[in-house]
Amino acid sequence: MLQRLSRRLYSLPRHSTPTLFVSRHCPQVALGWTRPSLISSQITRTVSPLHPHLCSFHSTRHSPRSANSTPPVKSSLDPATYKTLAFYHICSLEKKDLGPWRDQLLSDLKQWHIVGRIYLSTEGINAQISCPEQYMEALSDYYTSEIQPRLGPNVMDLNLGTEHGQRSFRALHVRIRKQLVADGLDPSTYDLSQQPSHLPPSEWHQKLTEYKEKHGKEPVLIDMRNHYESQIGYFEGAVRPDVNTFRESIQAMNSIVKDLPRDQEIFMYCTGGIRCSKAGAILQTQSGFDTVHLVQGGITAYGHWIRQQNVTSLYRGKNFTFDARLGEAITEEVTKIHFQPSGPVVVEGVRAYVKEGQMNMQPRTGPSDPSDPSDPSERVVVGQCGVECEHEHHRRLRAIEVLGKPGQVLQEWAKAGRELPSQHSL
């Protein structure tokens, strides 16, 4: 189990110190990290209310605010009035203009108590935000008068989520990035101006519904999201690669289509459209495909459209979202249980690992287990918590590079008095 864990742990964030937290009583292992400024921060453990054997760790202190963000919103506004929405646009922006625009967005949007994430790049803009309902009209006017003119023609409308009722973000962050979505490719090898076909949800639905009847075969439909996103919802008949990053999605996409004729229509989808806009341009300019389609506004827009129609949805389950909601329902259907014995699981969109051989994942119905450790002293810490990382931050590190091999982790467990699994010996 530990070897599988080491192989599949995610890359660590930049400017962070990796720390492995291990409970003496809890069967799972969790990777955490702290920023250099958190030298004296307390690390706390959070137990899932639905699945108490799964837990995560977080710091109770946050790093100082930078010029890229506003403080967490503290207002008398009811969080239930917030609407979650998104927009993006692929276009060429001048690097020198990004800093001033970031400052302007932070200054202008905070007056309406808007929270969320906005990324600026020479490739364009990508935004996911939450806005109080009473300020939605003001935001719409601002978007039309201030944001759209900077981006050029054919800019999408604000793309409202299908579920609201909570503030999906804590604060407003506007950050400048080298790329809107990291693809791992040389940007000179593709042309983002060669955008794929953006089909309205109605046309997307019609094309997929009629494709087999017209062409005598199933459409080539690719899910451009990560594996934990497609596990809780997907379009029927889609190829859903087992990937963790967009870089891996691009590699999987190229592998899927490598033997197809270049006049073959390709359909692809993602949450809101940004990943497909980039992947489609790469597929057309690098691989020479004539026609690549995406659903305009992504799964979110399709979900809105399907709720207004008297037709059967081609999408099943939930649309994973990278915010506090962790997903929005497109249909009421629940896809297969997100659990594989002795391996990774996804529970309500959260990736975790469970003890080898543990099969049951029932919600807690009775009182808390007295042996369930909530005291930080009941955890074993492997690594240096709160010490500035000496590794180079221009590259992403795997946990095993810093924490060591699983055998070293077992030795730390043994030193702490934790009972080792019977199949392991030191």
Q: Which residues are catalytic?
A: 270
For tokens 């690594």, the residue is 383
Which amino acid does the sequence have at 311? V
Which of 123, 150, 153, 151 has the alpha carbon at shortest distance from 278? Answer: 123
What CA–CA distance (Å, rounded) separates 330 from 257?
28
List all residues 6 or more positions away from 3 whose beta carbon is below 8 Å from its beta carbon.
406
Contacts 24+ apart (CB under 8 A), 245-252: 245/182, 246/181, 246/182, 246/183, 246/275, 247/182, 247/183, 247/184, 249/224, 249/225, 249/275, 249/279, 250/183, 250/184, 250/185, 250/279, 250/282
* DSSP 3-state of 193: coil
Residue pair 240/265 in contact (Cβ under 8 Å)? The answer is no
| DSSP-assigned letter for residue 247 | H
What CA–CA distance (Å, rounded) separates 325 from 345?
19
List all residues 6 or more positions away from 368 whose beta carbon is below 8 Å from its beta carbon.
52
